[in-house]
């Protein structure tokens, strides 16, 4: 299923570049604005022309009504208004007609009957009402007319007449058609210009990204100290540049630590292997008693046991750094677990003349096995570096929020302040020669830190030369541990 989806045309389709997307968005937005503006202006122009026609027609109806009402017997005045007034206009021509109640023509503008028949007009409105919105009518020759009709009263109590007025609106239709053509041309040209302008603007706006890309390409494993910088970029890219520089800083630190880690592993593996190889070669150079062969083998077993312990610790640290690793946490009495670990170390402590002590009681939520391992590592270091007559005290304290605190303090020689920031790093040893004499690898505190990270806890160290070292383990409360 996944292979089929990966080979589908949609999956193979190359995504659009940001420049193309910005260009399309800019062009589409510009086209939409031009279209909306053009349509609004077209609608407003058509509305203004319709209003002008309606007012003109209403005025002519009013004039004819006035002639019929005020001068009912003046045939000349009626003929002048219907025959001469409209025919004399070269532009904005209008036609009028007066009918009796049986729709017989009394007077009309010459040629009106050929253009618009009587039946084409709308029903006339009452004598006192305005003619209202005109009706559009198109002739067979393609001309457009606006038509209105209204009743008119002859004299005071005379018969009623029908007034019909037609206005030639062909020129206005021509104006609107020309406007539509011009608007279409404007939209096409505007869209083309918007596309070109949008691409230019997008390219110039995204130029800093190209600069960041070039700067990033120049960063290699040999130039991890290079930085993109954050001062020269636009405000929107400042955070991106800062995040990129922070990532480079972390990569540089990780690369440095990895290089140091590889060198330390090579050194730790080479020394015992070289020692065993040299000792074996010397032993095999001539025939020796069986006791000497046994001594060589015992020495090799001891060296390889230490190597096995180191490899086991390194594997644990590698698994602990896996963010998907989870530990089973249960609430238990830490005093009981600490007493068990103390009992295990008591013989070595008595041999070194170091007193072990446990104070307080606390309930913590953690993996009991990992908890014992962390305490055991701390006690091993504390006993190893505490002189004869000293003591190691484990203090248990319950925090107010339900968390637990375990403190392992010794009265040893302490650690210099400049070593404390690196004390939890792998293979880091403040005094390598002293550590080699005591058989340490420099992994104990790194393992403790990894165990605390698995529990979402914290490990801190405080030390002073000549006065001893204190390591504090802080475990979160049960509810926080369950959420992490």
Are 330 and 409 within one domain?
Answer: yes
In a domain, 226, yes or no: no
Residue 479: the pLDDT is: 64
Last residue of a domain, one of 319, 349, 367: 319
Are the C-beta atoms of residues 77 and 63 closer than 8 Å to each other?
no
Are 239 and 286 within one domain?
Answer: yes
Report d(CA 97, CA 109) in Å as an integer: 6
Which one of 73-87, 173-187, 469-483 scores highest in mean pLDDT? 173-187
Are 350 and 282 within one domain?
Answer: no
141-174 exposure pattern, b = at least 16 Cβ within 10 A, e = fewer:
eeebbbbbbbbbbbeeeeeebbbbbbbbbeebbe
Collapse the DSSP code of 245 into the 3-class scheme (helix H, G, I; strand E, B; otherwise coil) and give the result.
helix
Are 407 and 287 within one domain?
Answer: no
Q: How big is the chain by its Cα radius of gyration, in Å?
A: 50
What's the CATH code of the domain at 249? 1.10.287
Are 270 and 155 within one domain?
Answer: no
What's the CATH code of the domain at 43? 3.30.450
Are 27 and 158 within one domain?
Answer: yes
Are 350 and 438 within one domain?
Answer: yes
What's the CATH code of the domain at 426? 3.30.565.10
Binned at pLDDT 50, 70 and 90, residue 1 comes out as: very low
Q: Which residues contact 67 (CB under 8 A, 6 or more apart)?
A: 74, 77, 78, 81
Are 41 and 142 within one domain?
Answer: yes
Are 240 and 150 within one domain?
Answer: no
Q: Which residues contact 89 (CB under 8 A, 6 or more apart)?
A: none
Are 168 and 283 within one domain?
Answer: no
Asked if residue 437 has pLDDT above 50, the reply is no
Binned at pLDDT 50, 70 and 90, residue 40 comes out as: very high
In a domain, 215, yes or no: no
Residue 436: the pLDDT is: 45
In a domain, 213, yes or no: no
Residue 385: the pLDDT is: 86
Binned at pLDDT 50, 70 and 90, residue 316 comes out as: low
Taking only the tens place, the pLDDT of each residue in 62-74 is 988 888 888 887 8
Helix axes 290-320, 444-454, angle to 10 degrees: 30
Asked if residue 435 has pLDDT above 50, the reply is no
Last residue of a domain, one of 177, 195, 210: 177
In a domain, 198, yes or no: no
The mean pLDDT value of the chain amounts to: 81
362-387 exposure pattern, b = at least 16 Cβ within 10 A, e = fewer:
bebbbbbebbbbbbbbbbbbbbbbbe
Q: Which residue has the higher pLDDT, 39 or 77?
A: 39
Sign of the four-CA dihedral 119, 125, 128, 132: negative
In a domain, 218, yes or no: no
Q: Which residue has the higher pLDDT, 18 or 260?
A: 18
Q: Which residue has the higher pLDDT, 235 or 339?
A: 339
Asked if residue 9 has pLDDT above 70, the reply is no
Residue 237: the pLDDT is: 74
In a domain, 251, yes or no: yes
The average pLDDT across 99-125 equals: 88
Tally of domains in the chain: 3
The average pLDDT across 108-128 equals: 88
The residue segments making up the domain with residue 290 are 235-319
Are the C-beta atoms of residues 338 and 406 closer than 8 Å to each other?
yes
In a domain, 286, yes or no: yes
Are 92 and 170 within one domain?
Answer: yes
Asked if residue 460 has pLDDT above 70, the reply is yes
Last residue of a domain, one of 272, 304, 319: 319
pTM of the model: 0.52
Report d(CA 32, CA 37) in Å as an integer: 8
Are 287 and 434 within one domain?
Answer: no
Q: Which residues contact 50 (CB under 8 A, 6 or more apart)?
A: 133, 134
Taking only the tens place, the pLDDT of each residue in 151-168 is 998 887 888 999 999 998
In a domain, 212, yes or no: no
Taking only the tens place, the pLDDT of each residue in 195-250 is 998 888 888 877 777 777 777 777 777 777 777 776 667 777 777 778 878 888 88
Ranges 12-26, 141-155, 319-333, 439-453: which has the least confidence: 319-333
Asked if residue 117 has pLDDT above 70, the reply is yes
């Amino acid at each position: 299923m996944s292979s089929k989806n990966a080979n589908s045309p949609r999956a193979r389709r190359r995504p659009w570049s940001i420049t193309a997307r910005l260009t399309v968005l800019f062009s589409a937005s510009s086209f939409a604005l031009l279209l909306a503006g053009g349509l609004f202006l077209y609608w407003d122009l058509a509305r203004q022309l319709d209003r002008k026609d309606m007012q003109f027609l209403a005025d002519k109806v009013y004039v004819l009504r006035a002639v019929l009402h005020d001068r009912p017997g003046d045939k000349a005045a009626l003929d002048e208004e219907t025959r001469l007034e409209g025919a004399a206009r070269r532009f904005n021509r209008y036609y009028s007609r007066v009918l009796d109640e049986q729709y017989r023509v009394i007077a009309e503008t010459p040629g009106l009957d050929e253009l618009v028949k009587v039946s084409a007009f709308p029903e006339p409105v009452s004598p006192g009402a305005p003619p209202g919105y005109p009706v559009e009518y198109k002739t067979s020759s393609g001309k457009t007319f606006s038509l209105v009709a209204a009743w008119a009263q002859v004299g005071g109590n005379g018969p009623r007449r029908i007034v019909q007025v037609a206005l030639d609106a062909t020129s206005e239709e021509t104006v609107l058609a020309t406007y539509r053509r011009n608007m279409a041309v404007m939209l096409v040209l505007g869209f083309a210009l918007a596309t070109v302008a949008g691409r230019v603007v997008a390219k110039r706006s995204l130029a800093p990204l190209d600069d960041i890309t070039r700067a990033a390409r120049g960063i290699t494993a040999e130039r991890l100290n290079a930085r993109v910088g954050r001062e020269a970029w636009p405000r929107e890219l400042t955070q991106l540049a800062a995040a990129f520089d922070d990532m480079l800083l972390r990569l540089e630190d990780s690369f440095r630590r990895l290089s140091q880690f590889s060198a330390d592993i090579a050194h730790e593996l080479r020394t015992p292997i070289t020692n065993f190889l040299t000792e074996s070669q010397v032993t095999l150079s001539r025939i020796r008693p069986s006791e000497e062969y046994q001594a060589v083998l015992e020495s090799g077993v001891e060296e390889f046991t230490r190597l096995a312990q180191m490899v086991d610790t390194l594997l644990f640290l590698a698994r602990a750094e896996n963010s998907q690793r989870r530990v089973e946490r249960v609430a238990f009495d830490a005093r009981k677990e600490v007493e068990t670990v103390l009992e295990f170390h008591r013989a070595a402590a008595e041999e070194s003349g170091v007193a072990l002590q446990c104070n307080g009681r606390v309930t913590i939520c953690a993996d009991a096995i990992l908890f014992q391992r962390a305490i055991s590592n701390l006690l091993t270091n504390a006993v190893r570096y505490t002189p004869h007559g000293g003591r190691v005290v484990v203090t248990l304290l319950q925090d107010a929020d339900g968390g637990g605190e375990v403190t392992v303090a010794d009265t040893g020689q302490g650690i210099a302040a400049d070593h404390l920031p690196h004390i939890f790093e792998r293979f880091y040893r403040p005094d390598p020669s002293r550590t080699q004499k005591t058989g340490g690898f420099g992994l104990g505190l790194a393992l403790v830190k990894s165990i605390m990270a698995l529990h979402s806890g914290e490990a801190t160290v405080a030390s002073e030369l000549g006065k001893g070292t204190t390591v504090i383990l802080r475990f979160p409360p049960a509810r926080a541990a369950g959420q992490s």
